[in-house]
Structure 1
Amino acid sequence: MNQKILKGFLDSLEGHGIPACDCVVYKDHKPVFRHRAGFADAAKTKPLTEGNTYLLYSATKVITCTAVMQLVEKGSIHLDDPVYKYLPEYENLKVRKDTGIEPAKNIMTIRHLLSMQSGLNYNLAAPSITKLLEDTNRQASTRQIIKALAEEPLDFEPGTRYQYSLSHDVLGAVIEVVSGRKLGEYMEENIFGPLGMKNTGFQLTADRKANMVDQFQYNADTMTPVPVQNKNVYILSDKYESGGAGLISTVDDYILFLDAMCNEGVSADGYKLLSKETIDLMREDQLHEVSRKDFDMMGKVGYSYGLGVRTMVDKDKSGAKSPLGEFGWDGAAGAYALIDVENHLAIFYAMHVLGCGYAYAVVHPKIRDLTYEMLGI
């Protein structure tokens, strides 16, 4: 197995505005590749280590949707249940239309939230949320914020289109209601703890803060990364646990989650995270023709969207080395997760640069394809 090409590619990324990156590949519960490049700090004095933490941003979503699917397996949630069954404030929703704001005709379901077809958007500064944060001195809970969000009109009727949104944050509140636990507590008890993910959670503990890789913002004009604060704008209050973007983790932790997912839902230690049938359901295409056109605007050629994950539906169109049904997602600072059930293969790549289009257009597909070439799959 020749690792030189993939290592060389990762080493070259500093020249493309990515000061630090870490990539690990697992196959059949075993690490088969690991390489770090760059430094943990902007001053380039601290080499990356396995203990470094990253803001996962939307790589959080795959874990949140896995938690939802655990509750579906238990019969606590049904995919086509109305959201208002769990969150009553989502019963009488309104929709913004050309003629004005009108009552919604369609009922928003759990499936709509999972598949980003709910009609919600990603407006973090929505008036109802802004007012709540002011009234509570930014101490509003997850449930309070998601309740406030229901006051905002939807962008379209649930089920009619795809739009990347706060849908998975709403699912976080659903998990809290159904489980009777805070979102982070549920995840710790049912995902992180059993999988041995000892350094993953919503809280910015002293250790996580000290070990966090410096974050950058990509400057498109100069094509260079600019150091910024290690701040996550998607965490709306001190008590808010964002199911869509709030987790902090390490590469060594996150790959344990992906490894279980690619091995029919079972960890190396035998913990059953999900059944194979449920994982197959997650990677099943959920989009109709109109929604697919919306998703295509994201540029993930050959992929569609399942229950919280991209999913490979057209191998020829994608040009990818990975098989049909390969699935996963990514994050705002460039994280990339790949789950391949057919080959029991998982890839996790982390970086900490916001707004770096090169990561999504070039780095992620290149890492994917070089991994398959390296392994001869």
Structure 2
Amino acid sequence: MTKFSKALRLISAAPVAALLLAGCAQTGAPTSTASAPAPTAEPAQAQAPELDQLSALAARYVAEGKVANMVIGVSLPGGETRYVSSGTLALGGDQAADEQSLYRVYSMTKPIIGLATAMLIDEGKLQLDQPLSDIYPAFADVRVLADPDTPGETVALASPITIRHLVTHTSGFGYSIVPSGISQQYSDAGIVPGLRRPNPLMPSGEQPQSLDAFMERLSGLPLRHQPGTDWSYSIGLDVMGAVIQKVSGMPLETFLQQRIFGPLGMDDTAFTVAQDDLDRLTTNYFLMNGSMVPVDTPADSEYATPAPFPAGGAGLVSTTEDYLRFMTAMANGGMIEGRQAVPADAVALATSNILPDSATFTLSSAGGINEAGSAQGYGAGGYVITGSAGALPDGAYGWGGAAGTLASAFPLQGVGLVMMTQYMPSGTYQIAPELQQAVAADLSALMGSDSDN
């Protein structure tokens, strides 16, 4: 085993079980399921010889009918990228999935907003510990639930909500899809970022029709807990999207396009799918009673039209190729293809542990795998590993999405990893441990067999 592969032993992508976003309700969602019927079409497959284990993993999940497709991308030190793929855009289809197929990445939108935040901090337009009320004054006097899990009694705000709190899920905001004392209030008020049209699995009130309207409505609701005191998965990155829009003076979509997507060459990443690109959109499935039920298809996709407002925590569609470009930059100080595409200092901030001292985070907090002996922190929109005693290498950064997508960056090794598929709820299968083993084995073979024992 090489030193490189040993450092990446059992690489883990983001936690999968509770990376919840709009469109993925827990009500009635199975925690496990029998394998769905196998696809009627022979799965299309493509593989690089050096990534045999990843190829086998993707092919097996497709052959067993667990997913319609799976595409995995790896960027290596020096910039080379490799992909493996299996399956078709939809069960029974004949169009092979590949690195240019489109996927709903849901919460993998969050690290992108995290980087955008870090860029504004790097430019002096924001400060990490700046109060949200500096930008949106209505949040200066929000109330806080006396009991985080019980609606009703509230107390005064003890300290301001800050930018740090927003990007690390320590603000006290919640999620309509994560049970708490404020989740029902969020649903009733239409605070369901990313929901594009009525969903019977998660009924809600009428949504705000702009980011400013979203912020105005949110300011009238209490926080789940005092800012900075706890890690609780939240709409903090959606709030951050509104902050970015206001501070930058341009629509959030425009800022992301000009400052991140354009410079990184992420040509297919957006909040909507153009009509000409719908033939590359995968079908999203909900696993129910052992069957894969299509919930969003290219012919009738909610992503073909804009959402009421761009959801900074949940709203993007991307390709394996595009998102691997992002993770490659995050693993290499903003460098891609030999050029500085995004600022190195911003990447360093986003991928460092900026969790408040009074809050704690472990991967098990998010429903993932708790690696004993590995210190776990939080960066801007993704986990950060601050010790290497466990399975994850020191400095690892990443997150995942509600439809099974996973992504990690390994800055000390200069490696990026992205896995795309589409099934909900994401915790139905525990793909992450298998992905860990497969990528570790493939990287070991790829980098050589010299012993360091």
User: 1:272 corresponds to which letter in structure 2?
Assistant: A
Question: Taking structure 1 as reference, are residues 23 and 130 closer, same or farther at Cα in structure 2, changes over 3 Å only?
Answer: closer
Q: Which residue of 2 aligns with 1:127?
A: 188
> Is the CA contact 1:232–1:246 (under 8 Å) kept in the aligned structure 2?
no
User: 2:361 corresponds to which letter in structure 1?
Assistant: R
| Count of residue pairs brought into register by the alignment | 371
2:102 counterpart (15, 40, 53): 53
Q: Which residue of 2 aligns with 1:3?
A: 51
1:109 counterpart (162, 165, 184): 162
* TM-score normalised according to structure 1 size: 0.88
Question: Taking structure 1 as reference, are residues 368 and 286 closer, same or farther at Cα in structure 2, changes over 3 Å only?
Answer: farther
Note the residue ranges of structure 2 that are not aligned, 5 or more in a row. 1-48, 178-185, 199-204, 449-453
User: Is 1:308 paired with 2:381?
Assistant: yes
Q: Which residue of 2 aligns with 1:245?
A: 314
Residue pairs, 1:1-377, within 5 angstroms: 2-14=50-62, 15=64, 17-28=66-77, 30-98=79-147, 100-123=153-176, 125-129=186-190, 140-219=209-288, 221-222=289-290, 224-230=291-297, 238-268=307-337, 270-276=339-345, 278-279=347-348, 282-284=351-353, 286=355, 288=357, 291-292=360-361, 296=365, 298-302=367-371, 303-317=376-390, 319-320=391-392, 323-357=393-427, 358-359=429-430, 361-376=432-447
Measured in 1, the distance between the counterparts of 2:108 and 2:101 equals 16
Q: Which residue of 1 aligns with 2:36?
A: none
Measured in 1, the distance between the counterparts of 2:219 and 2:302 equals 20
Post-superposition CA distance 1:56-101 (Å, at most 9, x none): 1011111111001000000000000001111222111111114812
Answer with 15-24 or 52-61: which moved more: 15-24
* TM-score normalised according to structure 2 size: 0.74
Measured in 2, the distance between the counterparts of 1:53 and 1:131 equals 23
Deviation at 1:278, TM superposition (A): 4.5
User: 1:305 corresponds to which letter in structure 2?
Assistant: Y
Measured in 1, the distance between the counterparts of 2:411 and 2:343 equals 13
Measured in 2, the distance between the counterparts of 1:197 and 1:76 equals 25
> Is the CA contact 2:138–2:219 (under 8 Å) kept in the aligned structure 1?
yes
Post-superposition CA distance 1:317-357 (Å, at most 9, x none): 3x24xx20111111111111111111211111111111132
User: 1:195 corresponds to which letter in structure 2?
Assistant: L
Deviation at 1:306, TM superposition (A): 2.1
Deviation at 1:127, TM superposition (A): 3.0
> Is the CA contact 2:170–2:359 (under 8 Å) kept in the aligned structure 1?
no
Task: Describe the SS at the equivalent of 1:227.
Answer: strand
Measured in 2, the distance between the counterparts of 1:49 and 1:252 equals 9
Question: Taking structure 1 as reference, are residues 35 and 277 closer, same or farther at Cα in structure 2, changes over 3 Å only?
Answer: same
Post-superposition CA distance 1:182-235 (Å, at most 9, x none): 11100000011111111111123213333210111123x42x432222489999
Q: Which has the higher contact order (CA 8 A, sep 6+)?
A: 2
Measured in 1, the distance between the counterparts of 2:228 and 2:158 equals 11
Note the residue ranges of structure 1 that are not aligned, 5 or more in a row. none
Question: Taking structure 1 as reference, are residues 293 and 37 closer, same or farther at Cα in structure 2, changes over 3 Å only?
Answer: closer
Question: Taking structure 1 as reference, are residues 149 and 100 closer, same or farther at Cα in structure 2, changes over 3 Å only?
Answer: same
Question: Taking structure 1 as reference, are residues 55 and 144 closer, same or farther at Cα in structure 2, changes over 3 Å only?
Answer: same
Percent of counterpart pairs with the same letter? 25
> Is the CA contact 2:53–2:441 (under 8 Å) kept in the aligned structure 1?
yes
Task: Describe the SS at the equivalent of 2:83.
Answer: strand
Measured in 2, the distance between the counterparts of 1:126 and 1:165 equals 13
Measured in 2, the distance between the counterparts of 1:198 and 1:87 equals 32
Which structure has more helix as a fraction of its residues? 1
